[in-house]
A and B are shown apart, each in its own frame.
Chain A
Amino acid sequence: MLTSFYIAGAVAVAATLLMVMSPNAVHALLYLIVSLLAVALLFYFLGAPFVAALEVIVYAGAIMVLFIFVVMMLNLGRQATERERHWLRPSVWIGPSILAAILVGEVVYLLGRAGLPTPGVEQIDPKAVGKVLFGPYLIGVELASFLLMGALVGAYHLGWRRPKLEMHDDVYSRAARTPSGGAPLHRRADRPVGPA
């Protein structure tokens, strides 16, 4: 049990190191997913199965999908398909696959000895977590909901494509077209807008 804990920790550290040192965003994402899964296994070993499940679902599921979605979306256009094929060539998968295979082996080992109590650490079941979460920490839950709502509105606002405005003249033309904006702003010629 202790050895598998340390193996999972080593996998997490190795995957994170490889992620930080990887020059390519997609490769780094692959390693980051493995790292998150390893950390989820660590949570399980530490007696927090609910948090482990949450880590897999929210982090490795939702947040990483968002990352991959944006990384792939920003490469539309010129030679994007070729580049993606180059990124995802089979040799890239070897490193994350080995690390993930170690994790899968540990999960199988854990499933084999399911039901046995974990020595050393006490399990904190989701019921206790829920009691504390909605008891003394209720204000924190509300604040977290504020934060998520703000993030939702902010992301929507930032991602909103303004209709019928040119891209590079966005700020200037919007200021010129507002009815209360007064005199239209003129673009200064000495200041380059857009990619220099």
Chain B
Amino acid sequence: MSIEVMLNAAGLAFIVAGARWGQADGQVMFFFILAVAASEVAVGLALVLRMHRQYETLDADALSEMKG
């Protein structure tokens, strides 16, 4: 969710820059940010679902099997 907010802020910055200079490039960049956000959400939520199914917890600290 916080990543969503950050990506949204980046998109807002692009739009503001595009509006400042009257260029459409800012909005194009916002489309790309939108695509990145959508794919990131899809993969992230699939990971969360998988974790919930496999470990029945959502605590990231529980995933400590892989000792580095």
Contacts and interface: CB of A to CB of B under 8 A. Distances in A.
B41 to A, nearest CB: 5
Contacts of B12: 39, 42-43
Given A151-B42, A159-B49, A51 B30 contact: yes
B68 interface: no
A101 interface: no
Contacts of B46: 154-156, 158-159
Contacts of B52: 74
A150 interface: yes
Contacts of B5: 16, 19-20, 32, 35
B24 A132 contact: yes
For the complex, would chain A's binding face be called helix, strand, loop or mixed by DSSP majority? helix
A128 B28 CA distance: 10
A158 B47 contact: yes
A55 B62 CA distance: 35
A137 B28 contact: yes
Contacts, number: 139
A129 interface: yes
Contacts of A32: 1, 4-5
A59 B27 CA distance: 15
Given A28-B1, A155-B46, A74 B58 contact: yes
A144 B39 CA distance: 9
Q: Chain A interface: which size bin? A: 35 or more
A140 B22 contact: no
Contacts of B38: 58, 62-63, 148, 151
Contact of A140 (B8, B28, B64): B28
29 contacts: A19-B1, A28-B1, A36-B8, A39-B8, A42-B12, A46-B15, A47-B19, A48-B19, A48-B30, A54-B34, A59-B4, A59-B34, A59-B37, A63-B38, A74-B49, A74-B52, A124-B22, A124-B23, A137-B25, A144-B31, A144-B35, A144-B36, A147-B36, A150-B39, A151-B38, A156-B46, A167-B54, A194-B54, A196-B62
A-B CB proximity, top 8 nearest: A151-B39, A158-B46, A144-B35, A155-B46, A46-B19, A132-B24, A155-B42, A128-B24
Interface of B: 1-2, 4-5, 8, 12, 15-16, 18-19, 22-28, 30-32, 34-43, 45-50, 52-58, 62, 64-65
